[in-house]
Amino acid sequence: MLTEKIISENNILNDPLMQAIDAGESAILLTGNIHDLVLIGNKLAYRPQFIAEGLAQRSFYVLRYAKSQGIRMHGYSNLSPEKKKGIDKRLNAVGLLQLLNRNEQLEQDEIRRFFRAIARLLQTPCSDAQPIALILDYAEHICPAVQSSAAAADEQTIAAETVHMLALAPALNKSGNKLICIARDGQQNILLNEGLTRISIPFPNEQQTYTCIEYLLSLEDVDGQNRYGELEQGFSAEEFVRLTRGL
């Protein structure tokens, strides 16, 4: 079985999004194979979760927003009391704290408030504080493609204009904060195509697929039994990888 160190190198370090973040890109449109499973250490996670973990490892406070989930902070419950106090103060200063980690969707007026507040937050210099990364999950639902601006709901227009403005704002670059939109390409508002750095996640290569298969075959139940059946004798993991490419 491959070690956690090799798994980390094959995923987090070599991930094209993380490479762009490390290169200083501030506003990114992520498309392609965005909802696949990837390995984080010794567990499987969907790519948006993998992205949040990777950003957290780079000392970002990670905010995630989706229409179905509202606004959440990744790993908020694991923060120290001192860090919670610090980030709560920053969020409260722009009116976001009361919207955080609620188990309900935001109302239309709250969505408008959220995007106006996030524009202020992401353009505020971090100074000595930890930077903030905002992930817009399913950005095509938040900023959908429409025939004309008149066809969009008010909150959709505000969201698309805010993302576009932030992507072009020098203040975002200077702040150290990051904006990441995860979208199924072609379904997002055209404003998201301007200013954001586009990154398309490819399907896994043979090495990545092999790593995943080796990981699954190594899993055991609480009684020490293999969670999944073994491969047929003489049928190697390498051959399995070759036959399952594209799945």
Dihedral sign, Cα of residue 134, residue 138, residue 140, residue 144 = negative
Sequence-distant (≥ 6) Cβ neighbours of residue 59 within 8 angstroms: 130, 131
Q: What pLDDT sits at residue 131?
A: 95
**Placement of tokens 């194979």 in the chain:** 33
In single-letter form, the type of residue at position 107 comes to E
Structure tokens at 211: 């790593």
Q: Please give the mean pLDDT across all residues of the chain.
A: 85
Q: What pLDDT sits at residue 8?
A: 46
Q: Are 39 and 212 in contact (CB under 8 A)?
A: yes
Euclidean distance between CA atoms 34 and 179, whole angstroms = 16
- For the segment 141-158, what is each residue's pLDDT rounded down to a tens digit? 999 988 665 556 888 899
In single-letter form, the type of residue at position 219 comes to L
Cα angle 137-131-169, degrees, rounded to a multiple of 5: 75
If pLDDT is split at 50, 70 and 90, which confidence band does 211 have?
confident
Residue 4 has pLDDT above 70, yes or no: no
- For the segment 66-124, what is each residue's pLDDT rounded down to a tens digit? 998 899 999 999 999 999 999 999 999 999 998 888 877 888 889 999 999 999 999 99
Mean local confidence (pLDDT), 36-48: 79
Which domains are seen in the chain, by residue range?
Answer: 4-201 (3.40.50.300), 208-243 (no CATH)
Whole-number Cα distances in Å, 2 to 16, 41, 233 = 21, 11, 21
- For the segment 172-206, what is each residue's pLDDT rounded down to a tens digit? 999 999 999 999 988 999 999 988 999 998 887 78
Structure tokens at 49: 């979760």
Closest CA to 138 of 76, 53, 46, 75: 46
Euclidean distance between CA atoms 102 and 110, whole angstroms = 12
